[in-house]
Structure 1
Amino acid sequence: MVQLSDKMRATPDLLKAVFRIPTITAYNRLEARPRTENFERSLRAEVRDALWFLTRQWQMGELESEDAGSAIDARIITHQLHVDRIALKDAKGRLYNEAMPMETLVEREPVRFSQVLRIQTAQYFLQLHSPAFKAKYFPRYFAVYKLEAGKEDDYRGQIEGLNFYLSTLKRGLNGEQMLADMQAGSFKAKFTIDGGDEGMLDEYIADFLAWFARQYSQPVQDDFAWDSRKLSYKFSVAAPNGQQTQLILRSENYNGDNLDWFDFDVDLSSRQLPVDAPDYIPVLEEDVPVSFIPTATVFKGMPAQRFWEMEERQLNFGKLNAKTTDHLLLLFAEFGLVYGNDWFVIPYKMAVNTLCEIKGFVVTDVFGDRTLIEAADAGLDNDWQHWSMFNLSNKDHLGSYNRQFFLPSTLIHSLQSDPIEKVNFLRDEMANMVWGVEEVIPDATGKGINGNEAADKTGVQPPPVTPSDAKIRYLLGTTVPENWIPFLPVHKPGSNQDINFQRAAMPKLGVPPKDIIKPKGVMLKEVPTPYFINEEEIPYSGTLVSRAYQRVRWYNGKTFIWVGRYRETGRGEGSSGLAFDAILPA
């Protein structure tokens, strides 16, 4: 602070001269000296002058509605198509509605009968009988549907499964064959039925068939969507888009375990999905106008809009550990910290299996101004510069997108059992091939067991070496565990570079060689020879494919149980140690 004398105050010219002299002024920090220990009123940050706030709003242009008006009304019109048919793999189309989850319809496959399941189905059928009826007809059932003997070799390596098979062989019924005969209508012709018992038996059969259909959801005539060449599910859905046209959505790489909108692509070809329902009237497209009141977005840890508000600290954005390539996490952090209070929520309910496209979106603010909201990818930019979320890609048209959002009737959560079968497809660069390693195989008890422990060790040992005076010996080839199934590279027809992997077989060693080693699971032997897998489906990281039971309770209260598959990233390359034409010390 500059001190002025009385002479300087009396002389205006001198006052001006003083201020023309450059000076350096230093300030000390000013700190409050509280007179009380109660800071409650200070922390309130009370406002004393409301006119000051109005002045600041006028100064910043907020009274002119320059990027400051709050949304009070939103009006939207949408164009909706309703998906009403589905085709699994290359089969014909069929009608479909949300009475069943789409994952169930796509993933389910025939339930393979284990020894436990054969006994379980037969026991349930017997439980439906009255004691007298059961005592009369059980000997007749047993004479026709007793379990097949001589299957001990099928359970080699399965300790629990073999014990269960031997303990039930002479007293159990083959429920699998009983069920097949009931479905074929030939069950009652296999044994003698006393007069007056046929009506009661028909009631037992109907209850039994209804129980099994309710217990396990299975495809009709073995028609399921698994594509063995691509190791994924393949199916299509369609929505009527006029009297004679349809909008086709294709999913060719669904790996199981949560189906969502991004698993679909729009098929722009002229392919249609006709259904055998002459009396069916499809629900055509419709335009739906709706009006809403927008509400501000609220989330945990959201920065407070007013400086005297304290955040709940339920979400600490400061602990986000994001790298430069974590685009989604960086986008989330910027949304939460910078633009969190600029977003509004407009509730809009959609029916499942619906394709929705926003045709018009107008927002009205508190100043009466109306703004037309366009799509994020609207404009004259090149296709590769467009970016938006929830858009469906057009199949075989790179950079071409569709502005329709698809809400399939899919699951949020399901109960999943331990794998009853797991195959690890891994590359063996030293042997220049791929192995399908059966890490988990289905057991006779209905669960999955360790495939390496259950593998037969008797046929993989080389024959003993004949004693001689030679210092070296010639080895034609080494061997691998029996749960390692080979896939050899073969050229695609008409190509000298592109290859596929074809299933092969290892011989069982012996003098002479006994047989070939066959898979014990379902996935590696369900396709007849030749069995090919596309090369791109087995990268150098490998891939894991598992089968497991799925159970879900749908929103209509119905419970669905099915066997489905899911695919995961593998654990890298492997080495089998397979070698040929080796010279070894004797």
Structure 2
Amino acid sequence: MAEKIITQLKFPATVTAWNRIEGRPRTEDFDRALKAEVRDALWMVSRQWQLGEFIGDDAGSPVFAKVHMKTTALTKYQPQAGNTQAMPSSVPLEVKVENQPIPFKLAKEIASLDIRLLMGRQWFKLLGVENLAADTLAAAKSDFVTQYAIARPDPENVDDAALCAHPQVWQQFAAVAGRRMDGYELYQYLKKSSTNHASDNISSLTDATDQTNVDDLAKRFIKWYEQLYYQPLAQENPSWKPSHLEHQFACSAPQGATEKVLIADEYYHGHLDWYNLDINPEQTPLGTVEETIPDVEQATTLTFIPSGITFAGMPHTRWWQFEHSKTNFGDIKPDTTDLNKLMLLDFGLMYANDWFMVPFTLPVGSIADVAGLSVTDVFGERFWIEAAGSGSDEDWQRWNMFSLSIRGSQDVPADNSLVLLPAAPKLLEAKPMEQIYLLRDEVANMVWGVEAQVPLATGKNKPGKEAALELKAKYQQFIPPVKQPLPLENDGSIRYQVVNSVPEHWIPFVPVHLPDSNRQIQLQRAAMPRILEGDPNLPKKVEPRTSILRQGLDSDSPKPYFLHEEEVTRAGTLISKAFQRTRWYNGRVFTWVGMRKQSGRGEGFSGLAFDQIFPKEKQSGV
């Protein structure tokens, strides 16, 4: 017992607490602290070894260099279903590939009223420039309005139901009918034949001089419209492949006695770049063109003094020199798959004066190939440096960036050329005039094309669901009400329904076999019947209202539309059609209609069902 008491007295229990830990310097002199003295030299040597600073390396700086470049240019363009043509650098490649015709007619109804009125106003503006007498000018305008009139739709005519179903469309047509001119009809008349003149059938232009002046204005009118909107020369763009919902084209550049052919067969992104093209060594030359192709192959040897690459925020080689604060590397959040961004960070954070720049200016549409680089350093040594990606194209460990892939699996040398496509750097895209979703409906075991946005005749668009309800309601107005007899009474408590209906903006696609195949299938556009209450006639087919899904319907002999099944994935497919606009390097503005394909929002449910049983509803007397 005594032993325990002594132990407690010898080691009493204590509790120690701190509320702040801080240094208390005993002097105000900080000179020694700022010297950054190294107390442990062995630690510094170990740190240098850990960072690889003891690895032997020739660190001689380059003082003189020569680079040998071989360049050529893209001179030919061939859409997948068209003839070979020259590819001028005065037109962006996206414009040439994507341009779609403006739909001036849909389902044999007038469309794009806003552009028609715009063309009519421009024609009257041109007429005002001529020195026509005031009474002659007024009479001529009245005659043009009569000759190229805009018809007023009749709400009582079933053929005008598509125009009169939407109040805003009918109101605009009623406002301009008989008051404004359809400028597109004049343009069509002038383009139909070289013997057609603007003064034809205009009774107020009796003077020969006035007729000649007006006919000369027609050339300016055509030039104005074709510069305002870039349209395909044919009725349809031959690069667009509706069955795949993408563009396919090829372009080539002279390469000695043959051609380097670049192929793009899956372009739908909306912006062209090097990754859209592949080299096809088995592709035959694209053929001859009517235009004279200049000699674009050149070999250039450039002598220069290498200059180091500097950028804001780069690590500085001096100990107390702070980097520029405009670049915040901590704000960069790359994903693990962002290889380019990770390499940029690696370059910016680990290297300071190890990179040098070789300036070499290329015109758009060029293909450049570095034949070699000769570098002389400060020790007088000369090195011949080849491209980093040299070697076999099948070598998976080959360093490769911004270079084209070679199709096939043959062991061929890699292509290290750099393609500078004549592509627009930035585009302005309007709201979609048409937009559809292609989705799978597993409940109904079908594929549907859902028209999310449909074009109206005025040039505006409307949600497909609202437009479908308004059009069906308009057709229902033409069905006179009929007094239906009461069904026979029975003791059954349920009723049987063979099939129900779906909204009219849901266009079905059914599977059909490929020709000469009993296994592979493709999707064919079908149609649902339009069920109107009290209609004694056979139901008519519901036709799509977008030009995307009306493929083949508006031709003189309607054709079916087939779609490859793999184009409709589980996530669905979204296709948009909208006006695009860009400004080219020479200042010219290009406006065209382009297509875009993107991933959808997943599967959908149309509500279509067969063989259903419902509780019987009680019938009330009449």
TM-score, normalized by length of structure 2?
Answer: 0.79
Length, aligned pairs only: 542
Alignment equivalent of 1:479, drawn from 472, 486, 501: 501
Please say if residues 420 and 442 of structure 1, whose CA atoms lie closer than 8 Å, have aligned partners that are also in contact. Answer: yes
State whether structure 2 residue 248 is matched by structure 1 residue 237. no
Do the aligned partners of residues 458 and 123 (structure 1) sit closer, same or farther apart at CA in structure 2, a change above 3 Å counting?
Answer: closer
State whether structure 2 residue 142 is matched by structure 1 residue 139. yes
Please say if residues 77 and 359 of structure 1, whose CA atoms lie closer than 8 Å, have aligned partners that are also in contact. Answer: yes
| Shift of residue 411, structure 1, vs aligned partner | 0.8
State whether structure 2 residue 427 is matched by structure 1 residue 414. yes
RMSD value, Cα? 3.3
Aligned to 1:445: 458
Do the aligned partners of residues 221 and 541 (structure 1) sit closer, same or farther apart at CA in structure 2, a change above 3 Å counting?
Answer: same
Do the aligned partners of residues 382 and 236 (structure 1) sit closer, same or farther apart at CA in structure 2, a change above 3 Å counting?
Answer: closer
1:2-401 correspondence to structure 2 within 5 Å: 35-36=28-29, 66-113=57-104, 114-130=112-128, 131-150=134-153, 152-184=160-192, 185=194, 186-187=196-197, 188-192=199-203, 193-196=205-208, 197-224=210-237, 225-243=239-257, 245-277=258-290, 280-322=292-334, 324-339=336-351, 341-379=353-391, 383-397=395-409, 401=414
TM-score, normalized by length of structure 1?
Answer: 0.84
Describe the superposition over 1:131-162 as per-residue Cα deviations: whole angstroms up to 9, x where unpaired.
43331223322332212344641225533222
Which one is further off, 542-551 or 66-75?
66-75
Q: Distance in 2 between matches of 1:252 and 1:302?
A: 41
**Partner AA of 1:443 in structure 2:** L
| Shift of residue 405, structure 1, vs aligned partner | 1.4
**Partner AA of 1:182 in structure 2:** L
Matched position secondary structure for 1:199 = helix
In percent, how many aligned pairs have the same letter?
34
1:449-460 correspondence to structure 2 within 5 Å: 449-456=462-469, 459=472
1:429-440 correspondence to structure 2 within 5 Å: 429-440=442-453
Q: Distance in 1 between matches of 2:231 and 2:550?
A: 20
**Partner AA of 2:88 in structure 1:** N
**Partner AA of 2:121 in structure 1:** Q
Alignment equivalent of 1:552, drawn from 575, 578, 582: 582
Do the aligned partners of residues 506 and 174 (structure 1) sit closer, same or farther apart at CA in structure 2, a change above 3 Å counting?
Answer: same
Aligned to 1:566: 596
Do the aligned partners of residues 458 and 172 (structure 1) sit closer, same or farther apart at CA in structure 2, a change above 3 Å counting?
Answer: closer
Matched position secondary structure for 1:352 = coil
Q: Distance in 1 between matches of 2:175 and 2:254?
A: 57
Describe the superposition over 1:441-477 as per-residue Cα deviations: whole angstroms up to 9, x where unpaired.
2223323222222113574999999654432222222
| Shift of residue 63, structure 1, vs aligned partner | 13
Describe the superposition over 1:406-462 as per-residue Cα deviations: whole angstroms up to 9, x where unpaired.
111111112221111111112222222221111112223323222222113574999
Do the aligned partners of residues 430 and 329 (structure 1) sit closer, same or farther apart at CA in structure 2, a change above 3 Å counting?
Answer: farther
Do the aligned partners of residues 87 and 430 (structure 1) sit closer, same or farther apart at CA in structure 2, a change above 3 Å counting?
Answer: same
**Partner AA of 2:93 in structure 1:** M
Do the aligned partners of residues 85 and 297 (structure 1) sit closer, same or farther apart at CA in structure 2, a change above 3 Å counting?
Answer: same
Matched position secondary structure for 2:295 = coil
Which one is further off, 313-322 or 499-508?
313-322
Aligned to 1:15: none
| Shift of residue 33, structure 1, vs aligned partner | 6.3
Q: Distance in 1 between matches of 2:421 and 2:341?
A: 26
**Partner AA of 2:539 in structure 1:** K
| Shift of residue 282, structure 1, vs aligned partner | 3.4
Do the aligned partners of residues 396 and 459 (structure 1) sit closer, same or farther apart at CA in structure 2, a change above 3 Å counting?
Answer: farther
Aligned to 1:8: none
Please say if residues 43 and 308 of structure 1, whose CA atoms lie closer than 8 Å, have aligned partners that are also in contact. Answer: no
Do the aligned partners of residues 482 and 233 (structure 1) sit closer, same or farther apart at CA in structure 2, a change above 3 Å counting?
Answer: same
Do the aligned partners of residues 456 and 313 (structure 1) sit closer, same or farther apart at CA in structure 2, a change above 3 Å counting?
Answer: same
Please say if residues 240 and 282 of structure 1, whose CA atoms lie closer than 8 Å, have aligned partners that are also in contact. Answer: no
1:448-527 correspondence to structure 2 within 5 Å: 448-456=461-469, 459=472, 467=487, 468-469=489-490, 470-510=492-532, 511=535, 512-527=537-552
Please say if residues 75 and 289 of structure 1, whose CA atoms lie closer than 8 Å, have aligned partners that are also in contact. Answer: yes
| Shift of residue 516, structure 1, vs aligned partner | 0.8
| Shift of residue 334, structure 1, vs aligned partner | 2.7
Q: Distance in 2 between matches of 1:560 and 1:290?
A: 36
| Shift of residue 322, structure 1, vs aligned partner | 4.6
Do the aligned partners of residues 429 and 363 (structure 1) sit closer, same or farther apart at CA in structure 2, a change above 3 Å counting?
Answer: farther
| Shift of residue 545, structure 1, vs aligned partner | 1.3
Gaps of 5+ in 2: 1-22, 38-47, 105-111, 129-133, 154-158, 477-481, 554-558, 617-622
Do the aligned partners of residues 254 and 61 (structure 1) sit closer, same or farther apart at CA in structure 2, a change above 3 Å counting?
Answer: closer
